Structure formats: structure tokens, C-alpha cells
Chain A
Amino acid sequence: MNELLEQLAICIERGKVNLQSPFPVDLKGQEGADELTKRAIENSIPAEVILNESLMVGMQKVGDKFEEGKAFIPDMLIAAKAMNAAMVHLKPFFESGEVELKGDFIIGTVAGDLHDIGKNIVRMVLTGGGWNVIDLGTDVKAEKFVATLKEYPNAFIGMSALLTTTMMQMEVTTKAIKEVSPATKVFVGGAPLSQEFSDRIGADGYFPDPNKFVKYLSQAI
């Protein structure tokens, strides 16, 4: 594999945003996701290759560590930030259709819930995984999910809730979605949830960490 892409993957995994960022300590003074992505494009590496062979690899690695309990929310957040820095440069290629994405994914926190850190991590992992993510933000009502689904009829839907009190909203939202489009897959996530809960409300799956979820999705299509 291209050394540049390898280096970029490490930057994503370890959350090295750009030249200035002082973290991780051992990468101090080196170029980060921002510079390396720019250089990869200048070196005419196709955007799809950058995405698949570098960004996804980096995201996968930190995701694996998260799954193993060796990386934590802050690691995910800083990796996501590095990912963001890389995506800025790749965005034009997605928009022009040059890069073929795996599909559409609608995401948001449920009505009444404002906690979006988990949702944002999932969004970045999905983006890095080659999905077109439509982020509806926080406190998203069932109608909003349904309306967005009309625009992206083949989309998958994911929603999160952090409060025991708001997770009940997931049932309402799932029902509303299934009512208009029974075939649409609805996934749920969030600290107080479980697979049993997902089954009970008629959702299509619960995933405790983003990595497992992305792997699952890739196989699903």
C-alpha cells in the first residue's frame, strides 16, 4: 500500500488532525489528516482509493480498539475530528458523483433527546465507511424521519437516545417509519439500549459500537 495512504490511515486512527495539532504526542510536528489528504489528491490518487484504502482503514482500526475496550469516546471523537479534516478535501468528489457511495443513511437523535456525541461518532464512522449520511441533528421528530425518507427512499435509518426517558420515543418513531415503508431498516443505538429493547419496539437491530454496525451494513448490501 502507498506509504502516504498508510500514514494517513494512522492519522485517522490516532486522531492527528493537522500539522499544528499537538496530539498524539509522538506525532507532534508531523503532517496530519488535513495535509496528507490534500497531498494524496495532488498526487492524483483517486478519492475512492483514499477513502477505501486509508480513511476507512484508520476508522476501522480505532473502531476495533473501541470494540476491544482499548479506545474510548475521546479517542473516537478525536479520530472523527481527523476524519472531518480529511473529508473536507474529498467532499467535491462525492458531490460530483465521481466516488460511488454505498448508499444513503439517515441519522438523528430521537425527539426529546439532545445528546449527540454518540450519534456524531456513528456519523463519522459511516462517512468513513463510504456512506452518504444525512444527519438530521438532535430532537428529531418521527415526522421528520418519515419526510426525509421520502427524499431518500432507499435509505437506512439510525437513531440514538441517551436517556431512559427518551428511548421510549424510538418505538413511536420506528412505528411511524414502518407504517409508511415496512421494508426500511431501522437501527437504534445509545447507552441505555439493548438488543431486547430493539426487538421489542420492532426495530431491525441494536449495535453497541459503530464498528460492528458498519461491518454489518457492508454485509447487508
Chain B
Amino acid sequence: MNESNYIAVDFGAGSGRVILGSIKKNKIFLKEVHRFKNKNIVENDHIYWDFKYLFEELIKGLKKIGDTNIQNIQGIGIDTWGVDYGLIDKDGELLANPFAYRDSRTNGIMEEVFNIVPTKEIYEKTGIQFLQFNTLYQLFATVKYNNSILKNADKLLFMPDLFNYYLAGKILSEYTIASTSKMLNATDKEWEIKLFESLSLPIQILPNIIKPGKVIGKLLPEIQKNTKLFDVDVIAVGAHDTASAVAAVPSQSKNWAYLSSGTWSLIGIETQEPIINEKSYQYEFTNEGGVEGTNRFLKNTMGLWILEQSIKKWKEGNKNINYDTLFGEAQKVKPFQFIIDPDDSSFLNPPDMLEAIDNYCEKTNQKIPTEQGEYVRCILESLALKYRFTIERINNLIPNPIEVLHIVGGGSQNELLDQFTSDALGVPVVAGPVEATAIGNILLQAIAKGEIGNVSEGRKIIKKSFHQKKSYLVKYITGKELIKRQKHFLIIKQNNSYRLMNKEKIKLRIEPLGKEVQVIKGTPLKDVVYQYGIEFPCGGEGYCGGCKVKLLSGDVRDPEKHEELNYKLGLEPEYRLACISEVNEDITLEIPQLESIILADNSLYSFTPKCGFGIAVDLGTTTLVAQLVDLSNGHVMGVQTSRNPQTRFGSDIMSRVMHGMNENGREESKKLIREEIYILVKKLLKEKKIELKKIVIVGNTVMHHLFCGFDVTPLSSYPFDTANNHSVEFDTDRLGWKLEENIKVVFVKPIASFIGSDILAGILASEMHLNSNLTALVDLGTNGEIVVGNKEKILCASTAAGPAFEGANIKMGMSAMSGAIASVSSGNGKLDSHVIGNQEPMGICGSGLIDSVKVFIQNNLVDIGGAIINDKDKLMIGGNVFITQKDIREFQLAKAAIVAGMQILINKLNRNLDDITRVYIAGGFGNYLNLKNVTDLGMLEVREERIRKLGNTALIGAKMLLFYDDYSFNNILQKVEHVSLDADESFQDIFVEKMFFNETILSISK
């Protein structure tokens, strides 16, 4: 037998191939027989793989081979991407198309799993890092959303297992693919049953595991007939494509690392045992199964995507791209002029990659590339430096440093990158083979059939069979230069670090806003960043990581504490949790939330990317907020805020109505607000060459009418009927805004006469209109709005609850700004209060009022009826700040209004408060709010764990509205009904009853 043949089938997320591999005279030869596209199908808002289609293409490929007279076909091996799976029932039927990993049903699932099993415990067992599409989370989501399919499921088969089952009829799970699931114990290589039990996942659906390099069985008779391939074995190969690729690394030495180079870079080492420790966790390395019982210790980082996208951009500009010229020019460019972090989120999916590079360089005070060669140099050098960064981390974890790097896959053909990588690493780089995955696939088949003894023997054959190019270190990079450049990935040096005259003050720079603020040394970071919309979901306890900020330069007080927490939370070392940070020296921060604020909450929601940019405006009675949004990815590119200029006519809404009731006042109000918004828009667009498509404004009904120039008289008294409850579109011309003509400006319609589009936006942000469970939204702004509902029906009401929480009617009340006591607690018989801005207290804001009432009751200074004991006229809190009996009574009125409002809405829905599964608190007010105190005081009569702070829901909703085309909202509005609490007979009874506190508060822990 002088030639044997093997069929390698390699499915990728973008395409699939059937390759014929021949082993002849101790060499391997490849021939591509069939190539086909793979793509997702979308049904009912879910993303699937089309299994039947893929299997048909596989059969087509096999038929092509069966139709030739190639003899001695020994086997078929399948490899695919990781994590995805299908479920089959007892009759062996596939129950549904497999979900694609990109499907959004796993949004928020990781957190739910972590609530049951801590992250660290999962990592310690499985060795796998945390991606929301790991099979474990997919399965947990399936249990959560679609239990019926799982009830009918007999077995779970990963993608390659599913093809193997359809080919050979055997239900088995290949080890390397199973290892990507995060359901396998990395050390004993068996299913992690305990994890399944803890998460109540069905253990019986897990098939037996087969190791790569073993025969599964013969092709089923009907497939033999159909393909004319007789007596061919289906063989378990390294069914995870990366496992096959690593198997094909032609290594000859001991201390080598591999880089599987393509759109992405997978960089790692082959080890005998998994590496699972604090550092590996912190560095985000994962442990996947390899062939021959090895472990693949690796990290997934950015690859040639940035280059591909840049070239695509040049091609769009009809520029002819000659690759030789391109790389030739790049070689001539002076080194290290422009360095980017390839893993920066701005390169993930920008509309224009070249612009993303420009922005990054500008942001980091570097020169901006202009020539194509300069861009290429920038990208390749940056990738090479990032490879070094990763390899150094690996070196930190292993006894002997890496001596050679093998680059396999398509990217290995980029000789310039190979050279740069070698230079950056200071070790030789061996590039090739390009077709590592198919070769590894064939190698394992040949091992299974006994033709090749083991992987090591196979690697020698591979080395002989395929071209490899070795690059050696060229000394264009000095040690000093290298270290300097490399630091870039940890810390971007602040160029301008001048010290202030006053030593007590320090400077804080916030990126990507480019804002610089001066604060007093020792100020909690929380006080600074909350003004930029940062939320503290866990209430400043430091356990959720929701308020993480990235340090670009400088550090906060007590970095050790942060490093420990970062490890626990799985954050990169350069992150700091704003909620527990104190500023001690000049620092530059990047606030990732500003880019992802549209996704700031856990609830599922989607938008369809569009091109261009939009501006979302929340037009509040007191404050204006505008954000510039990249419509291609939802990122926030800038924020501007200002005070509503109409406040000169009075701070409350009725005074605005009064002012607008005559023609002159109306005209004046309209002009002022239009001008103010135009100023914000101009500031957002300043020096940005972007294509603005749309401006969406939300606000209460009075703001809507005043902006649009409608008569507000109907809004002055009951029944507040206005004929103008519609969305209004403006030309920029009509508004007197000097912007492009085709920019659409929309003021979104109010829900009802006294419920504005700010609440409509809040409903969208909370997604209560999509949920079958009841959700409540409580907005404690100037008017306290309460919305309760689900996808069937939504009721909303406004109460007079708000002003007390904004400091109105409270003796020393103020809004949550510098000098306000924002939280109060007691311990050892003394009060502890936190003042925003870490300065002398000037007053108290809503959250401080709530905390102090709770503390005073628990310390028997105020009784549960709300009376100050011993007739004192005031209670001191901190500094000269105190609260009076009247303040407590105001709080009681506000609290009673919320509770009674909520109760009446729930009564009208014929449901119980306990049916509300989620309560969202909207508004900046929420930041310092202590939810335990809120429930203990009975402000919300729901369980604490059901309450979430959602932030500025009007703004979140306004951003979502940027992606809408139709602003009529008939679907939502027909569900929404406004309830007038004053008109409800039971309101006053419930209201009076709810003014007081529950006795149980005295026995609750402080």
C-alpha cells in the first residue's frame, strides 16, 4: 500500500471545506475538494446554524470524492468551532437547529450562574475563561427559557459530534470539543457533574467521551450507498479546530509556543497538565483539551482583523492594493511612531478602521498615520508587541521561557508580521503550515488507523511535508525602546503632567470624554464619575465590577486591595472599581461604561446597527443630557449636559406651564430651549467629521409642547387634555440649526397628557412591554412617576413623591452634588456619614435623608410613627447638617405616595405586589441609594433583590429610539393607560396607612 487517503472536513463559522489528504512516502499532501459557505439563520429573534444544509454540503463533498476513482480511503474526520451543540431526542432525531454562539439568549446568564456558583470555583474546575457563549451558559439559558426542548432531549451533541452521529450513528462526545464547553473538569477530563448538579442541569444528556485518535465506526449503510464511499471509518480527530491546528505544529524543540493566526490570534502552549492558578485566571488564560492527553493553555487576542478591515476601506476608495508594495512601504516606515492596543474595544467593529486607528493615536497623544505603509506598520508592530505581552505572561507562569514561536494558519503567510513578531519576542519565529487544521485532522486519523505512531512522529512528517519559513531576531529594536513601548499596553503615559500650585488638589482626566477636572486629594472616585452616568449596581460594595474604570496613568489609593478584587472579578490588572477608589494623585481614566452605557443593564435588548451617528437628548425640567451615539455599534462617543434655561421661569413644571400660557412666554421658552439643545449638539460634533443622521429628543409633555411651540394651556388643569400628543419631526432649518439639511430631528410623543416620552423611553429601557412578568419602573424625579406592567398591559401614574428626594421641602435638603451628605450609617453608637466630594457637609440629598431616617429609627431617636422622641426639634447628622421633624414628615408623605401609587396600580391590574418580579429605580438619584434601607423603610414593598437601579432610563430609551424609524408606537401605546391617583377613592386611605413605618424595622439588622 503506497498511498492512503483521509478526508478532513473543517467547518468554520464563515465557510466549510472538504479536503482530501494523502499520505505517500512519509509525506502528507492536501487537495481541497469542496468548499461551501456557512452562515447563520435567524428565526424568532434567535440565531441558529442550518444543520441540515451543512450536512448536505458535507455529503456533496463526500460524493465528489466517491465519484472519483481514488482508492484506499481510510477515514473521515470532522472538526468545527467550539461550544455549539444540538439536542437529539430518544428516537435520535435532532430536536431543533443548533443555536449559534452569537445568539443573545445568553445575555446576562453568566451573572445568574455566578449567583449560584462563584466564578472562581468554575474556573478552578474547568480551567476555562468566561465567555457568555460557553456551552454551560447556553445550556443554563435553555433551561431558563425553553425547558420543554430540554425535557424531550435525550443527548447533547457538540457540532462535530452531531456530524459524526449523522455519519456513523454513534452517540459520543469528542474530548477536545467537549473541553470548550466549560462543563468538563480540566484535570480529570470527565464531565464536571457537581457543577451540573449545582445548576440543576440534566446530567443524563451528557454522552460518553471519546478521545481523539480513535475510530468511531463505519459510515452508515445509506450514506455508503449515497456517497459511494464504502468501508470508510468515521474517526474522532481533534474535533475542535484549534486542537487540530495545534496538533499540526511542526515543533521539534521543548519550549515552544504556538500562534494560530487568522482574523483572531490564538496564542498559547501545549502542556501536560492544565495551568489553573490566580495568575492564569487574572491573565485570562484558558485551558482546553488537546490531542494525546495534552492541554492547550491559550489566550484569544486580536488578529489580522484590523489589517483586513483597513485594506477593505482602501479598496472601497477604489485604490488598487498591491500587497508587495504595501508591505514594502511598511518596512521602510520609521518604527514605533504609532502604537495601538489591538484589543482595545474601539477596534472590534468600527465603521471605519482607519478612523479608529486615527482616533486611538490622537487620544493617546501620538502622531497619526497618513500613508498606507504607516497604517500597516502601526498595525503589525502593535500586534507583534501584543504577542510579546502575552508570551511574557505565559513566561510568568511556566518554569522555562519560550524559545521559539510557531505561527500556523493563514496569518503565518504575512512575512512582515512574522519578522516583527520575532523582533518583539526576541526569539525565532517559525511560520507554517498554513493548513494546520486540516493537517492535524488528517494526522489524528492516521494515528487512529495505526499508520502514524503518535503526534510527535506526525509532527516530523509535517515538518518535512510543508514549507516553513524561519525568522530570526533583527536588532532594530533596543531593549530600552521595547520596554518603553510595551508599557503602552499597561499604561499610556500621560504627556502633560504638570503639578498644580495647590498641593491639596489633584487632576483627573476622563477618557474618552477628554474631560479634565480638579478634585481635592482623597476624594472618592465615585463622587466624580457618577456625574458621567456611571452606575454602581451593587451599591458600592465592590463585588459586581459594574463601575470599573480603566487606569491609563497614575493610580488610586491602596492598589493592592484592587488587585485582589480584580482577580476575584476576573478583571485586567489595570482596572479599578470606582465605588471603592480614592483619588490620591493625578490620574487618567478611561470609563468603559461611557462606551457601553446603552448596554449598561442586564436586560436583553437589541438594536439593528445602522450607519452614521445619532444624538439622544433627555430634555428634563431641570437638566439636559445629550449623548452622541455611533449607530453602527451603539457606542457613546460623547456626552454633554447643561441646565434647562427655562429654569429662570421657575423650577417646577407648573411655573413653566404658567409662563407658556401666553404667546410671548411660549415663544421665549421655545427659543431658549431650541438654542440650548443646538449648543449641546454643536459641542458634541465639535471637530468630529462624522455623518450625523438623527437627533432624538425625549421629555415630559410640557417640555414636548414648549419645544414644539404648542399651546400648553390644556396642560394647566385637569383633565389636562391636549390635542398635540404626537411625535414631531423637524427640519434643522425650521429649528434654526445650522446643520446638514437631511438630519432628522424628532421629539418623541408623550404617552398621555401628563406622561411624557421620557417615561415612554423608560418603558423601552426597562423592556417591560416585552416581558410576560410584571415589571415596575419608579422614576423619582421632580414628579415621581410609577409604571407597572408587562407585555399585555402597562399602567402609569404620577405622584408628588419626587421633590423630597431632590431636596425640596427639606430644611437642609440639596441635590446629590458636592457637599451633600449622600449616605449615613451607624456603628458603635455613632453616626457615620459620607459627603459627596469628601468635604464639609453643606446639606443632605435624598439618599442621605432615607439613610438617616432608618438610622434614627433603629437607634430609637425616631419612633415608627415618624415622631422624634423626646420632642427634640432636630437631629444632627454630620457637621452642621441636621434633619427636622418636618423633614421626616415630608419623607413619610413621599414614601406613602410611592407605596400607595404602586398599590393602586397593582390593584387595578388585579395582581399582587409579589407578582412584580423586577423593580427598576430610574434617575441619578439611584446612585447612592441604599436598597436595603429603601425596603426596610417600606418605600418599596418588594423584596430587595428584585430592585435594580437602572440609571437615566429616559436617556437609555432615547438612545434605543435612535434606531427606530417609526415614531408612532401604536403597539406600545395601546397597552399603556394613565391612572389618576387623585381620582382614586382608595388612594387617601392607603396613603395615610403607608405614612408610617413597619415595626419589623426595629428587629432588622442595622
Contact = CB atoms under 8 A, between A and B. Distances in A.
Contacts of B654: 163-165
B658 interface: yes
B716 A77 contact: no
Interface string A57-94: 00000000000011011110110010000000000000
A120 interface: yes
B657 interface: yes
19 contacts: A22-B864, A23-B864, A23-B996, A24-B863, A70-B885, A72-B885, A72-B886, A72-B889, A74-B896, A75-B889, A77-B995, A81-B992, A112-B716, A112-B717, A112-B719, A114-B980, A116-B988, A117-B988, A165-B658
Interface of B: 654-655, 657-658, 661, 716-719, 863-867, 885-886, 889-890, 892-893, 896, 980, 982-983, 988, 991-992, 995-996, 999
Contacts of A211: none
B889 A73 contact: yes
Nearest to A139: B718
A116 B982 contact: yes
Given A72-B886, A72-B889, A73-B893, A78 B995 contact: yes
A69 B885 CA distance: 10
Nearest to B993: A81
Contacts of A81: 992
Contact of B717 (A73, A75, A111): A111
A157 to B, nearest CB: 20
Contacts of B890: 72
Contact of A138 (B658, B864, B983): B983
A115 interface: yes
B988 A120 contact: yes
A25 interface: yes
Classify the secondary structure of B's interface with A.
Answer: helix
Nearest to B999: A22
Contacts of A116: 982, 988
Interface in A1-35: 22-25
A54 interface: no
Nearest to B661: A165
Contact of A77 (B661, B719, B992): B992
Classify the secondary structure of A's interface with B.
Answer: loop
A74 B655 CA distance: 26
A77 to B, nearest CB: 5
Contacts of A115: 982
Nearest to B983: A114
B717 A169 contact: yes
A114 B982 contact: yes
A166 interface: yes
B988 A74 contact: no
Interface centre among B658, B896, B980, B995 (most CB of A within 10 A): B995
A166 B661 CA distance: 12
Nearest to B886: A72
A22 B866 CA distance: 12
A42 B738 CA distance: 82
Q: Which 4 A-B pairs have the closest CB atoms?
A: A112-B717, A165-B716, A114-B982, A72-B889
A24 B867 contact: yes
Given A72-B885, A77-B992, A114-B980, A166 B865 contact: no
Interface residues of A, number: 28
Interface in A108-136: 111-117, 120
Contacts of B867: 24-25
B718 A112 contact: yes
A24 B865 contact: yes
A200 B657 CA distance: 22
B425 to A, nearest CB: 73
Interface string A147-176: 000000000000000011110010000000
Contact of A74 (B661, B866, B999): B866
B736 to A, nearest CB: 29
Contact of A163 (B716, B864, B892, B995): B716
Interface centre among B718, B886, B982, B996 (most CB of A within 10 A): B718
A138 B982 contact: yes
Nearest to B988: A120
Contacts of A120: 988
B853 to A, nearest CB: 13
A168 to B, nearest CB: 8
A81 B993 CA distance: 10
A22 B718 CA distance: 37
A163 B718 CA distance: 10
A70 B893 CA distance: 16
Interface centre among B717, B864, B893, B999 (most CB of A within 10 A): B717
Contacts of B719: 112, 139
B872 to A, nearest CB: 12
Contacts of A166: 716-718
Contacts of A23: 864-865, 996
Nearest to A192: B654
Contacts of B885: 70, 72
B718 A113 contact: yes
B718 A164 contact: no
A37 B885 CA distance: 30
Contacts of A138: 718, 982-983
Nearest to B982: A114
A90 to B, nearest CB: 20
A75 B892 CA distance: 11
Nearest to B718: A112
Contacts of A22: 864-865, 996, 999
B283 to A, nearest CB: 58
Contacts of B717: 111-113, 163, 165-166, 169
A46 to B, nearest CB: 30
Contacts of A70: 885
A164 B716 CA distance: 9
A113 B716 CA distance: 9
B415 to A, nearest CB: 77
Nearest to B867: A24
Contacts of B893: 73-74
A141 to B, nearest CB: 11
A111 B866 CA distance: 34
A117 B867 CA distance: 21
A75 to B, nearest CB: 7
A208 to B, nearest CB: 15
Nearest to B891: A74
Nearest to B871: A70
Contacts of A77: 988, 991-992, 995
A74 B718 contact: no
Contacts of B992: 74, 77-78, 81
A169 B717 CA distance: 9
Contacts of B996: 22-23
A75 B896 CA distance: 13
A117 B982 CA distance: 9
A24 B864 CA distance: 8
Contacts of B982: 114-116, 138
B718 A114 contact: yes
A139 B721 CA distance: 14
Contacts of B991: 77
B980 A25 contact: no
A138 B981 CA distance: 12
Given A77-B995, A164-B654, A25 B864 contact: yes
Contacts of A69: 886
A13 to B, nearest CB: 13
Contacts of B716: 112, 163, 165-166
B658 A164 contact: yes
A164 B652 CA distance: 11
A134 B674 CA distance: 49
A12 to B, nearest CB: 15
A25 B655 contact: no
Nearest to B873: A70
A70 B867 CA distance: 11
Contacts of A78: 992, 995
A162 to B, nearest CB: 9
A77 B866 CA distance: 14
